[in-house]
Each structure stands twice: as structure tokens, then as C-alpha cells.
């Protein structure tokens, strides 16, 4: 890596900015203070997590996916909702891609947690196992440090970017499948 080469972290942020923004916009549109909104949000995440076939290694993998799916399943049961239909599996080969998206997802959920906490329905407040999972900031920091130390050029980095992009697309697909107009925040329906 020369001083002009971007790092892997720079490339992930730069090359995936539009996909990340689309995903953030979609999940910000779910009204987490309503039963349809929270149910749709949880169903979308459950479908996406269940479709991921993790790469070996990295900071995330089967244990984290299982923990998140179990929390979502418990929340959906609290809301008397069923798990969504399965999506096509997405086999990952690059642990850096899954770490970037899954650890980033935990941080993003912390922002959405604040919106969910404003719900006045006690059943919604009881359905917070997923949103109250730890943010994993230590693992996120380790990932960022490692990605900052890696070069962003070459086929390896290109493959990581492609897989992270496929993960973003998987979540967008799951979000669209789960979100019907009653789940949207009022500002997204006008």
C-alpha cells in the first residue's frame, strides 16, 4: 500500500456509501413505536440474518447471528408475530465483509433503540431483546483498526466490497418485503 492507496476502511465507506444510505433510509422509515413498524423491522432483520451463511473467521459469525436471531424470535413471539418467510441464502467468503455489516448493524440498532424506547405500548416495550443487545463497540473498533491497516486496492479488497454490498442489498430486500405502509413512520407516508 502506498500513501496514495485508500485503506480498506476508506473503500468500504466510500464505495458503499449509496447502498448504506439506502439501507439507513429504509430502516429509518419503520415506525418502531407501533406494532406493525416494530414487527416489520424485526421480521426484516430476522429474514436477513437467517439468510446469511457466514464466512469462517473474523469477529462475527454463527454465534452472533444465532444470538441476534434468538432475540428477534423472542421479540416476535412477544408481539404474537411469526418469523418471516426465508430469503435465498447468501454464502459469504470474506469475514471482513460480514464484520463490517454485522458490527455496523449493532451500532445502527443503538440509534433505532432510542426511537423504540419512545413506544407507549407495554407489549412493544417487552419486545426489546434485539434492540437492547450490546452494541459490540470493542469489536467494531478492532474491525476499524484492522481495516484501516489493510490496503484497499486489489482483488481481495474488491471481493470484500462486493460481499459487503451484497449484504446491504440483502437487508434492503428483507426490509422491502417486511414493510408495508402501516409500519412506516408518519413522515414516510405523506
Banded model confidence at residue 5, pLDDT cuts 50, 70, 90: confident
**Per-residue pLDDT at 188 exceeds 50:** no
Domain regions of the chain by residue span? 15-137+155-185
Beta pairing partners, 184: 30
Residues 128, 76: Cα–Cα separation, whole Å:
10
Q: For residues 93 and 96, what is the distance between their CA atoms, to the nearest angstrom?
A: 9
Q: In 3D, which of 38, 36, 35, 20 has the Cα closest to residue 112?
A: 38
Distance of alpha carbon 125 from alpha carbon 161, whole angstroms: 37
**Could you tell me which residues come within 8 angstroms of residue 146 by beta carbon, excluding any fewer than 6 positions away?**
96
- Show the beta-strand stretches assigned E in 45-152: 52-53, 90-91
Fold of 15-137+155-185: Heme Oxygenase; Chain A (1.20.910)
pLDDT digits (tens, 9 = 90+) for 127-185: 999 999 999 999 999 999 999 999 999 999 999 999 999 999 999 999 999 987 666 66
Residue 58 has pLDDT above 90, yes or no: yes
What is the pTM (predicted TM-score) of this model?
A: 0.92
Element (H, E) at 100: helix 95-116
Task: Express each pLDDT in 85-99 by its tens digit.
Answer: 999 999 999 999 999
Separation of alpha carbons 174 and 44, rounded Å: 5
Higher pLDDT: 14 or 3? It is: 14
How would residue 190 be classed by pLDDT, with cut points 50, 70 and 90? Answer: very low
- Over the stretch 101-134, which tens digit does the pLDDT of each residue have? 999 999 999 999 999 999 999 999 999 999 999 9
List residues bridging with 52 in a β-sheet.
90
Contact call for residues 46 and 170 (beta carbons, < 8 A): no
Contact present, 48 and 171 (Cβ < 8 Å): yes
Can you give the pLDDT at residue 187? 54
| Strand ranges for the chain from DSSP E | 52-53, 90-91
The span from the CA of 104 to the CA of 139, in Å, is 10
Amino acid at each position: 500500500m502506498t500513501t496514495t492507496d485508500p485503506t480498506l476502511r476508506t473503500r468500504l465507506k466510500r464505495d458503499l456509501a449509496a447502498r448504506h444510505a439506502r439501507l439507513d433510509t429504509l430502516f429509518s422509515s419503520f415506525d418502531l413505536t407501533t406494532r406493525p413498524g416494530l414487527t416489520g423491522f424485526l421480521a426484516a432483520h430476522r429474514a436477513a440474518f437467517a439468510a446469511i451463511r457466514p464466512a469462517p473467521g473474523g469477529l462475527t459469525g454463527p454465534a452472533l447471528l444465532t444470538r441476534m436471531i434468538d432475540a428477534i424470535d423472542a421479540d416476535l413471539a412477544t408481539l404474537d408475530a411469526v418469523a418471516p418467510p426465508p430469503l435465498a441464502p447468501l454464502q459469504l467468503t470474506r469475514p471482513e465483509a460480514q464484520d463490517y455489516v454485522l458490527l455496523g448493524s449493532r451500532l445502527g440498532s443503538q440509534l433505532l433503540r432510542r426511537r423504540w424506547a419512545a413506544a407507549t405500548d407495554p407489549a412493544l416495550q417487552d419486545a426489546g431483546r434485539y434492540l437492547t443487545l450490546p452494541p459490540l463497540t470493542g469489536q467494531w473498533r478492532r474491525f476499524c483498526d484492522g481495516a484501516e491497516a489493510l490496503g484497499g486496492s486489489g482483488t481481495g479488497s474488491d471481493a470484500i466490497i462486493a460481499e459487503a454490498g451484497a449484504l446491504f442489498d440483502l437487508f434492503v430486500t428483507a426490509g422491502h418485503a417486511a414493510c408495508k405502509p402501516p409500519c412506516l413512520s408518519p413522515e414516510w407516508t405523506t
